[in-house]
C-alpha cells in the first residue's frame, strides 16, 4: 500500500502557524526545583500560608513518586531539574490592573494568535483570560461578569481575594497526591483561571482562557478551578499555543470542575501546543489531569476537546458521577501527525444512581503519528441503573501511523448497561481521487473527509470555536500541496 | 471533442495501451468493448487522470486542450466526468455535501455563482426523483453501505447534477439487475445532447439495448482493432471476441 498513498502523504505536510517568539523581558527563575523555589513562587504570588503548606506537602509527596509508564508513549526522559518553574513578563510592579496596563507586545502576541483581548473587538459574548508563560496577563469583561455575581479571574488573584472558596475547593477533585504530574503541578503551579458561578446563575457569556508558553526552558503549570453552585450554568473554553523550539517543553496542568446540584459545566478545549517539526524534534510534552465531579443530583459535566498540538499528549478528562441522575460526557478529536503521540481518553466513574455517561472519541493518525484511546468506565456497587455508551473511531492517513484502543470496563452493579463500539477507517488515494474527479481540490477533499469524521464532536463545540477547530484541523493536516 | 492519437501507456512497467486511436465528436455516443485485460478501464482511468499510469507516447486532446496536462480536478471542472466501476465509500461525508462541493467547483470554473443551499436542494431532489432514488440518500455518507446498484445510480445522479460535457462510463452496467439497468440508461439518455459526448466502456450488449451507441469500438491488446455501428455489438454478442484477435496486426 506504500505507493498507493503518496498523495495522502503529500497533503499531510502542514505547518505550525503559532511558532513565533515574542521578544519580551521576562522575570525567570533559574532551572531547578527544591523547596526554596516553591517558597519563592509562593512569595512572588503573595499567597496565604495555607497555599504554601499545600504546595510543600505536594512537593514532599512528589519526591516519593515515579513517572507513570503505562501509557503508549515514548519520549526522552524529562530532567525536572533542567526546567524553570517560574517565568513572567516583566511589567509594572503589581502587574496589569486593566488592559491599558498590559505591555503592547503582549497584546500584539494575542492578536497574532487570533485572540482579541481588546474588549470592544472581542468576540461578542466571550470573556477572555490570557495566561502568558506563568502569569495571567489580562482578563476581559470582568465588570459585566461581576454584575451577575460571576467570579472569573486569574488563579493567583482568587487565592488573594477569595481564599475561602479556593481553600474549600482546591484539590477537592484532584488531590495533591493524585498522580505524578498533578502532584508536581500542585507544588509549582503558577497561574490559571478561577471561576465561580453562584447559585442559580446562568453565566451570561462564554468564558475562555488562552494559554501561551513563550519563554524557553520553562515549564507551564497552570491550574484551573471551576465551581458551579446549585442550578448554575457555565460554558468555558481554553486554547493553547507555543513557539517552535527545538527542545521539548513540559506542560503539566490540572483542571478541576465541581458541579453542585442541578448545575452544568461545559468545558471545551482547543489544544494547539507546538507539536514539534516533521522529524519529531521539539514540541510540548502535554501531561494534563482534568477531572470534574458531579457532586449534586442532576448535575452535568461535559468535556469537549480538540487536541491537534503537542509532541506528546497524555490526558484523560474524567467525570466522577456522584450525584444521582448526574450526567458525564466526553467528546474528543485527537490528531497525531508526523511524530506526534497521543494517549488520551476519559474515565467515567458511576457512583450515584441512574447516572449516565457518553463517550465519543475520534482519533486521527497521520505521518508516523501514534494515537491511543484509553478509557475507563466504572460502575460502583451502589450505582443502580447506570448507563454508558462509548463510541471510539480511528481514522488512519497513510500507512506509517498507528491507532490503538484500550477500553477498560468494570461493572459492580448487575443493572449496569455499558456499550462500546469501535471502528477504524482510512483515507485512501481512492477516496482522494474520487473527490478530485468530481472537481474538488485535494486539500478540500481531505478536509471534507476529516471533518465528516469529526462531525459528532465538532457539533458539541460553541459555534465560533467549531469553525476555529475545523480551520485548525485543516492547518494541522495539510498545508503544502506539491 | 476528444481526440486520442497513438496512445501508449504502462502500469507498473507493463504496457497496457499500445497505440490507441479514438475520435469522439460532440453529440456522439461511443461504446468501447473488448475482452478482459484489453485496456478498457485503463483508458477510462487515464482520461480521468488517475495516478499510477505512465503515458509513454501519443496525445489526448479535449476541446483542443492537452488533457493529460490537467490535474483530475481541472479535468472535472472542464466538464470531464468519470462514472466509476467501483465507487469508493467515504464515511462521515454526506452525499449532499460532496455533490454541492462538486457542483460549485464546476460552476465557479464556468464563471457562475455558487448555488445556495435551497436552490441546490431543489435541483438535486428533482434529479433524484428522476433516478427513482429515495430522498434519504442525500443524508447518507457517500456510497457507505450502498448496494452495487445504489452506487451506480448515485454515479448517474452525480452526472445529471454536474451536467458534464464528456462522460466516461466505466462498466456502469456491471452488477446491475434489469430494473436498475433501465434507470441508469434512462439517466444517460436524458443527458444525450448535441453538445455532449459519451464513452461507454462495457463488456456486454445489454446496456447498448437501452443506450444505443453511434459507434462501437473493439479493444484488443491495447488497440482499437475494429470499429463499426451498433450492429457490431450484436455481432460481438454472437461471435465473441476471438475472431477479432490479431486483426490489428
The predicted structure's pLDDT at residue A479? 34
Q: Which domain holds residue B93?
A: 2-244
| Helices A180-188, A49-62: crossing angle, 10 deg rounding | 150
Residue of chain A whose Cα is closest to the Cα of B48: A437
Residue B107 inside a domain? The answer is yes
A161 touches chain B (CB under 8 A): no
| Signed CA dihedral, A58, A63, A65, A68: sign only | positive
pLDDT average, residue stretch A166-186: 94
A482 touches chain B (CB under 8 A): no
Residue B79 inside a domain? The answer is yes
Distance in angstroms (rounded) separating the CA atoms of residues A456 and A473: 15
The predicted structure's pLDDT at residue B233? 86
Residue B12, domain CATH: 3.40.50.300
Q: Is B29 helix (H, G, I), strand (E, B) or coil?
A: strand
In this model, does residue A131 exceed pLDDT 70?
Answer: no
Residue B249 inside a domain? The answer is no
Burial class (CB in 10 A: 0-12, 13-18, 19+), B121: middle
Q: A449: which chain B residues are within 8 Å (Cβ-Cβ)?
A: 90, 92-93
In this model, does residue B59 exceed pLDDT 60?
Answer: yes
The predicted structure's pLDDT at residue B18? 94
Q: Which domain holds residue A274?
A: 21-424
Quickly state the pLDDT bin for A7 (edges 50, 70, 90): low
Q: Is B104 helix (H, G, I), strand (E, B) or coil?
A: helix
> Considering its fold, how many domains does chain B have in total?
1
pLDDT in tens, A316-346: 999 999 999 999 999 999 888 888 888 899 9
In this model, does residue A365 exceed pLDDT 90?
Answer: no
Task: Give me the interface pTM, i.e. the ipTM.
Answer: 0.94
Q: Are B28 and B199 in contact (CB under 8 A)?
A: no
Q: A431: which chain B residues are within 8 Å (Cβ-Cβ)?
A: 88, 90
In this model, does residue B35 exceed pLDDT 50?
Answer: yes
Q: How wide is the angle at C-alpha A319 spanned by C-alphas A257 and A78, nearest 5°? A: 80
Do residue A440 and residue B73 have CB atoms under 8 angstroms apart?
yes
Residue B125 inside a domain? The answer is yes
B64 touches chain A (CB under 8 A): no
pTM assigned to the model: 0.78
| Distance, C-alpha A301 to centroid of its chain | 15
Which residue in the set A7, A425, A440 is minimally distant from B91, CB to CB?
Answer: A425
Residue A475 inside a domain? The answer is no
Q: Judging by DSSP bridges, how do beta strands A264-271 and A300-307 pair with one another?
A: parallel
Q: Which residues pair with A28 in a beta bridge?
A: A87
DSSP state of B138: G
Residue A37 inside a domain? The answer is yes
pLDDT average, residue stretch A95-107: 58
Do residue B92 and residue A435 have CB atoms under 8 angstroms apart?
no
pLDDT in tens, B80-134: 999 999 999 988 888 988 999 999 998 998 899 888 888 899 999 999 999 989 8
In this model, does residue A105 exceed pLDDT 80?
Answer: no
pLDDT average, residue stretch A209-226: 75
In this model, does residue A121 exceed pLDDT 50?
Answer: no
Percent of chain B scoring above 70 in pLDDT:
98
Q: Are B85 and B51 in contact (CB under 8 A)?
A: no
The 3-class SS string of chain A reads CCHHHHHHHHHCCCCCCCCCCCCCCEEECCCCCCHHHHHHHHHHCCCCHHHHHHHHHHHHHHCCCCCCCCCCCCCCCCCHHHCECCEEECCCCCCCCCHHHCCHHHHHHHHHCCCCCCHHHCCCCEEEEEEECCEEEEECCHHHHHHCCCEEEEHHHHHHHCHHHHHHHCCCCCCCCCCHHHHHHHHHCCECEEEEECCCCECCCEEEEEEECCCCCECECEEEEEEECCCCEEEEEEEEECCCCCCEEEECCEEEEEECCCCEEEEEEEECCCCCCCCCCCEEEEEEEEEEEECCCCCEEEEEEEECCCCEEEECCEEEECCCCCEEEEEEEEEECCCCEEEEEEEEEECCCCCEEEEEEEEEEECCCEEEEEEEEEECCCCCCCEEEEEEEEEEECCCCEEEEEEEEEECCCCCEEEEEEEEEEECHHHHHHHHCCCCCHHHHHHHHHHHHHHHHHCCCCHHHHHHHHHHHHHHHCCCCC
Cβ contacts of residue A244 below 8 Å, gap of 6+?
Answer: A16, A19, A274, A277, A282
Burial track A225-264 (b if 16+ CB lie within 10 A, e otherwise): bbbbbbbbbbbbbbbbbbbbbeebbbbbbbbbbbbbbbbb
The predicted structure's pLDDT at residue A474? 72
pLDDT in tens, A240-262: 665 565 667 788 899 999 999 99
A36 touches chain B (CB under 8 A): no
Residue of chain A whose Cα is closest to the Cα of B44: A437
Q: Is B4 helix (H, G, I), strand (E, B) or coil?
A: strand
Percent of chain B scoring above 90 in pLDDT:
61
Q: Copy the grid coordinates of residue A350.
A: 458511576
Q: B85: which chain A residues are within 8 Å (Cβ-Cβ)?
A: none
pLDDT in tens, A267-312: 998 877 777 777 777 788 889 999 999 999 999 999 999 888 878 8
Distance in angstroms (rounded) separating the CA atoms of residues A3 and A19: 32
Residue A144 inside a domain? The answer is yes
Give B199-236 as a DSSP string: EEE-S-SHHHHHS--SEEEEEETTEEEEEE-HHHHHHH
Q: A433: which chain B residues are within 8 Å (Cβ-Cβ)?
A: 50-51, 72
Query: Which run of H or E residues covers position B142?
Result: strand B141-142
Distance in angstroms (rounded) separating the CA atoms of residues B51 and B68: 11
Q: Judging by DSSP bridges, how do beta strands A151-154 and A193-197 pair with one another?
A: antiparallel
Q: Are B236 and B202 in contact (CB under 8 A)?
A: no
Q: B81: which chain A residues are within 8 Å (Cβ-Cβ)?
A: 437
Residue B106 inside a domain? The answer is yes
The predicted structure's pLDDT at residue A449? 85
Amino acid at each position: 500500500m506504500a505507493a498507493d498513498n503518496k498523495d495522502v502523504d503529500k497533503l499531510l505536510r502542514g505547518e505550525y502557524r503559532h511558532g513565533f517568539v515574542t521578544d519580551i523581558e521576562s522575570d525567570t527563575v533559574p532551572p531547578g526545583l527544591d523547596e526554596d523555589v516553591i517558597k519563592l513562587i509562593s512569595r512572588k504570588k503573595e499567597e496565604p500560608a495555607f497555599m504554601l503548606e499545600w504546595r510543600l506537602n505536594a512537593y514532599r509527596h512528589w519526591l516519593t513518586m515515579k513517572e507513570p509508564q503505562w501509557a503508549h508513549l515514548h519520549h526522552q526522559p524529562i530532567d525536572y531539574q533542567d526546567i524553570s518553574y517560574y517565568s513572567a513578563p516583566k511589567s509594572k510592579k503589581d502587574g496589569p490592573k486593566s488592559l491599558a496596563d498590559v505591555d503592547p507586545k503582549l497584546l500584539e502576541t494575542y492578536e497574532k494568535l487570533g485572540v482579541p483581548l481588546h474588549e470592544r473587538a472581542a468576540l461578542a459574548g466571550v470573556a477572555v483570560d490570557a495566561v502568558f508563560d506563568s502569569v495571567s496577563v489580562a482578563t476581559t469583561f470582568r465588570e459585566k461578569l461581576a454584575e451577575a455575581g460571576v467570579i472569573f479571574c486569574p488563579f493567583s488573584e482568587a487565592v488573594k481575594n477569595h481564599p475561602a472558596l479556593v481553600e474549600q475547593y482546591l484539590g477537592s477533585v484532584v488531590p495533591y497526591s493524585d498522580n505524578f504530574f498533578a502532584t508536581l503541578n500542585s507544588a509549582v503551579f503558577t497561574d490559571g483561571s478561577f471561576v465561580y458561578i453562584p447559585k442559580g446563575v446562568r453565566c451570561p457569556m462564554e468564558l475562555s482562557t488562552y494559554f501561551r508558553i513563550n519563554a524557553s526552558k520553562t515549564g507551564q503549570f497552570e491550574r484551573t478551578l471551576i465551581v458551579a453552585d446549585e442550578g448554575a450554568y457555565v460554558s468555558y473554553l481554553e486554547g493553547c499555543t507555543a513557539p517552535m523550539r527545538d527542545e521539548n517543553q513540559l506542560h503539566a496542568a490540572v483542571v478541576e470542575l465541581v458541579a453542585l446540584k442541578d448545575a452544568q459545566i461545559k468545558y471545551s478545549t482547543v489544544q494547539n501546543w507546538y507539536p514539534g517539526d516533521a522529524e519529531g524534534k521539539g514540541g510540548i510534552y502535554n501531561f494534563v489531569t482534568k477531572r470534574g465531579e458531579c457532586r449534586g443530583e442532576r448535575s452535568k459535566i461535559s468535556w469537549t476537546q480538540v487536541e491537534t498540538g503537542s509532541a506528546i499528549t497524555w490526558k484523560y478528562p474524567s467525570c466522577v458521577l456522584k450525584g444521582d441522575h448526574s450526567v458525564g460526557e466526553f467528546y474528543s478529536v485527537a490528531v497525531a501527525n508526523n511524530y506526534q503521540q497521543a494517549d488520551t481518553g476519559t474515565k467515567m466513574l458511576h457512583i450515584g444512581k441512574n447516572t449516565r455517561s457518553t463517550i465519543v472519541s475520534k482519533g486521527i493518525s497521520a505521518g508516523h503519528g501514534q494515537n491511543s484511546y484509553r478509557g475507563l468506565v466504572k460502575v460502583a456497587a451502589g450505582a443502580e441503573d447506570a448507563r454508558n455508551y462509548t463510541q471510539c473511531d480511528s481514522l488512519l492517513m497513510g500507512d506509517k501511523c498507528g491507532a490503538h484502543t484500550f477500553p477498560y470496563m468494570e461493572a459492580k452493579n448487575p443493572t449496569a448497561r455499558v456499550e462500546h463500539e469501535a471502528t477504524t477507517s482510512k483515507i485512501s488515494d481512492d477516496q482522494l481521487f474520487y473527490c478530485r474527479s468530481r472537481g474538488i481540490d485535494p486539500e478540500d477533499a481531505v478536509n471534507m473527509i476529516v471533518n465528516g469524521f469529526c462531525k459528532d464532536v465538532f457539533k458539541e463545540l460553541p459555534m465560533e470555536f467549531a469553525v476555529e477547530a475545523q480551520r485548525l484541523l485543516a492547518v494541522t493536516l495539510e498545508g503544502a500541496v506539491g | 471533442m476528444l481526440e486520442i492519437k497513438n496512445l501508449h501507456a504502462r502500469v507498473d512497467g507493463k504496457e497496457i495501451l499500445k497505440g490507441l486511436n479514438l475520435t469522439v465528436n460532440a453529440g456522439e455516443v461511443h461504446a468501447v468493448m473488448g475482452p478482459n485485460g484489453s485496456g478498457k478501464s485503463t483508458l477510462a482511468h487515464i482520461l480521468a487522470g488517475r495516478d499510477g499510469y505512465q503515458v509513454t507516447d501519443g496525445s489526448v486532446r479535449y476541446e483542443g486542450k492537452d488533457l493529460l496536462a490537467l490535474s483530475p480536478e481541472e479535468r472535472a471542472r472542464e466538464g470531464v466526468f468519470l462514472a466509476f466501476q467501483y465507487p469508493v465509500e467515504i464515511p462521515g461525508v454526506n452525499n449532499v455535501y460532496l455533490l454541492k462541493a462538486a457542483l460549485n467547483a464546476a460552476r465557479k470554473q464556468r464563471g457562475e455563482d455558487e448555488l445556495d443551499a435551497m436552490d441546490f436542494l431543489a435541483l438535486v431532489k428533482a434529479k433524484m426523483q428522476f433516478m427513482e432514488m429515495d430522498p434519504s440518500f442525500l443524508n447518507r455518507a457517500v456510497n457507505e453501505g450502498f448496494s452495487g446498484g445504489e452506487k451506480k445510480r448515485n454515479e448517474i445522479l452525480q452526472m445529471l447534477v454536474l451536467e458534464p460535457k464528456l462522460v466516461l462510463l466505466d462498466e456502469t452496467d456491471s452488477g446491475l439487475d434489469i430494473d436498475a439497468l433501465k434507470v441508469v440508461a434512462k439517466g444517460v439518455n436524458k443527458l444525450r445532447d448535441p453538445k455532449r459526448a459519451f464513452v461507454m466502456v462495457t463488456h456486454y450488449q445489454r446496456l447498448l439495448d437501452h443506450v444505443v451507441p453511434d459507434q462501437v469500438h473493439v479493444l484488443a491488446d491495447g488497440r482499437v482493432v475494429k470499429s463499426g455501428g451498433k450492429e457490431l455489438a450484436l455481432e460481438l454478442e454472437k461471435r465473441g471476441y476471438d475472431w477479432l484477435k490479431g486483426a490489428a496486426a
